Amino acid sequence: MTAGFMSRCGGFPMSPEARRQKVRILGDGCAALSLAARADELTAHDIHLVRPDGAPPETDHIWGFWDAPGLKVASRMARAKWHRWSIVTEGGEALMLSATRPYAALHRRDWTGHCRDAAARGGVTIDTGGSAVDDADQIFDSRPPPVPGGLMLQHFLGLEVRSAHAVFDPSTAILMDFRVDQSRGMHFIYLLPFSATEALVESTLFTPSVCPDDFYHRAITGYLDKCYGLTDFETVRTERGVIPLGTLPRRDPAIPGIGGNGGAIRPSSGYAFPFIQKQIDLAIAAERSSGTLGFQVPHRKIDLWMDAVLLTVLRHWPERAPELFLRMGRALDGDEFARFLGGEADWPLRLKVVMAMPKWPFLRGLVRMLGGTSRRPVAEAA
């Protein structure tokens, strides 16, 4: 990148009256493409994506999210939706239902394909290499942010499995099943049953360090055997990910961020897809009234603060995790749970969650957090 374009990042140079602002987005992932797909709503801006040098090849995976008014297009493209979902522990199960806010599973390649088509129709170009950013009025960076050492991570490996006989209940997505090895920290299975014979089964941990592949594989095969009596299955697809949980510095402090590099990842859950769409909705609405394009952290300060306390508890007392999530699942109905995880909680709902939690671990977590003995308070972000 040249010093020339760096000095123009995020600001408008004096521009002739009706000249369209040249906007360059570094990256061609979820956030960049989701924005590019809506170029027809940003007629004062001329949007180009730049696939950065060193960008890894795109791989498919599933985005899970709760249907919400701003997610209708994505929801229509989902491979599957569930109106029932559960949280399972050795001590019991919380089953939640929602008629209006199903949990949806969308293939990344379906969404990015849709976005690329819509972007092309809207006149967006996608360049490879960093050179095309030189003449930009504004630059936004969607490359992944750096992850400080010791940060809590959500890390997982998932297998899409196919069984010769019916074993799964396709009516109910299992968001968390804690009946797996808890020796490395908070660990659960996430199971999306696409049919009675096909499911995505992920071994997921919230800890500061990733595990060898073999650990997740053993967790999945052991779980399928123990809970479904399934030992003989075909692996159709594998997906893996490491999502940082917490406040992250921007990739380049001189370039405004978007997507995960713009604070869109929800620290307590790792969900980012719905928040990226929200971030773009807000940016387009603000551009309509101000003429300026910019991207804000799409979370409320109070939610980031509550996330920071929860993450502190999960880091220091991970053995409490199954109980905490079970209590939350039992206290909320499906709509409330979807709203809470989807970042749409109001004060009564937040209070309901707080009241459902055991107080002692959270008080201890708060003291740790305020005393600075936990890593980086998440609330710094907002």
Ligand X SMILES: Cc1cc2nc3c(=O)[nH]c(=O)nc-3n(C[C@H](O)[C@H](O)[C@H](O)COP(=O)(O)OP(=O)(O)OC[C@H]3O[C@@H](n4cnc5c(N)ncnc54)[C@H](O)[C@@H]3O)c2cc1C
Residue 194 touches ligand X, criterion: CB under 6 A: no
Least spacing, CB of residue 273 vs ligand X, in Å: 3
Residue-wise burial string across 88-105, b where 16 or more C-beta atoms lie within 10 A, e elsewhere:
bbeeeebebebeebbbbb
Binding of ligand X by 143 (CB under 6 A): yes
Phi, psi angle pair for 40, to nearest 5°: -65, -15
DSSP-derived pairing of the beta strands 152-163 and 198-207: antiparallel
Question: Residue from 260, 263, 329, 365 that binds ligand X (CB under 6 A)?
Answer: 260
Contact status: 52 vs ligand X (CB under 6 A):
yes
Contact stretch for ligand X (CB under 6 A) within 92-100, 168-176, 268-276, 308-316: 268-276
List of residues 6+ apart from 22 with CB closer than 8 A: 45, 46, 48, 135, 136, 137, 138
Bridge partner list, 203: 157, 189
The three-state secondary structure class of 263 is coil
| Nearer to ligand X (CB atom), residue 116 or residue 352 | 116
Tell me which amino acid residue 35 is.
L
Coil/strand/helix, residue 200: strand
Binder of ligand X out of 5, 21, 27, 219 (CB under 6 A) = 27
What residues contact 287, with CB distance under 8 A and at least 6 apart? 42, 44, 45, 293
β-sheet bridge partners, residue 88: 93, 177
Sign of CA dihedral 187, 188, 190, 196: positive
Q: Which one of residues 239, 281, 323, 335 is an interface residue with ligand X (CB under 6 A)?
A: 239
Q: Which of 35, 192, 272, 357 binds ligand X (CB under 6 A)?
A: 272
SS (H, E, C) 51-96: ECCCCCCCCCCEEEEECCHHHHHHHHCCCEEECEEEEEECCEEEEE
Q: Which one of residues 37, 64, 137, 357 is an interface residue with ligand X (CB under 6 A)?
A: 64
Question: Considering the complex, what minimum distance in angstroms separates the CB of residue 351 from ligand X?
Answer: 25
> Is 144 among the residues that bind ligand X (CB under 6 A)?
yes
From the list 87-95, 142-150, 173-181, 212-220, the region that binds ligand X by CB under 6 A is 142-150
Out of 31, 153, 191, 248, name the contact with ligand X by CB under 6 A: 31
**The one segment of 51-59, 225-233, 282-290, 304-312 that binds ligand X by CB under 6 A:** 51-59
Which of 5, 21, 24, 30: binder of ligand X (CB under 6 A)?
30
Phi/psi for 273 (5° steps) reads -55, -50
Q: Which stretch binds ligand X (CB under 6 A): 1-9, 127-135, 137-145, 360-368?
A: 137-145
Per CB under 6 A, which of residues 285..344 are in contact with ligand X? none
- Can residue 145 be called a binding residue for ligand X (CB under 6 A)? no
Q: How near is the Cβ of 263 to ligand X at its closest, in Å?
A: 10
What is the contact surface with ligand X in residues (CB under 6 A)?
Answer: 27-32, 52, 54-56, 61-65, 142-144, 239, 241, 243, 259-261, 271-274, 276
